[in-house]
Structure 1
Amino acid sequence: MGRRPPRTSYGYLAPSGARVLGWECNNDGCGTGDRPAPPSWPHPCRECGRPTDASFDEPWAHEARGYKIQHHLHSTDRDVREMARLERHVWAYKEACFRDDAPAADRAWRAYRRARSPLWQEAEGDEPAVALSRAQQWLRTATRADLTALLPDVEPSGAPGGHPYTDPEYWAAFAYTGA
Structure 2
Amino acid sequence: MKKYFTIIMFFISSLILYSQNLFAKDQCKIDQQVKLNIFKKNDYKFYNYICESSEDSYLKGYFGDQEKKIFVGDYSDFAAKESPKLLAVGIYKSTKRKPPILITINSAYYCCTPQIEGKVYQVKLYQISENKILNLKNITNILGSNAEGFEGIAEGKVYYKYKTISEIKKWLDKSY
Q: TM-score, normalised by structure 1?
A: 0.23
Task: Flag the structure with higher helix content.
Answer: 1
Task: Flag the structure with higher strand content.
Answer: 2
Q: TM-score, normalised by structure 2?
A: 0.23
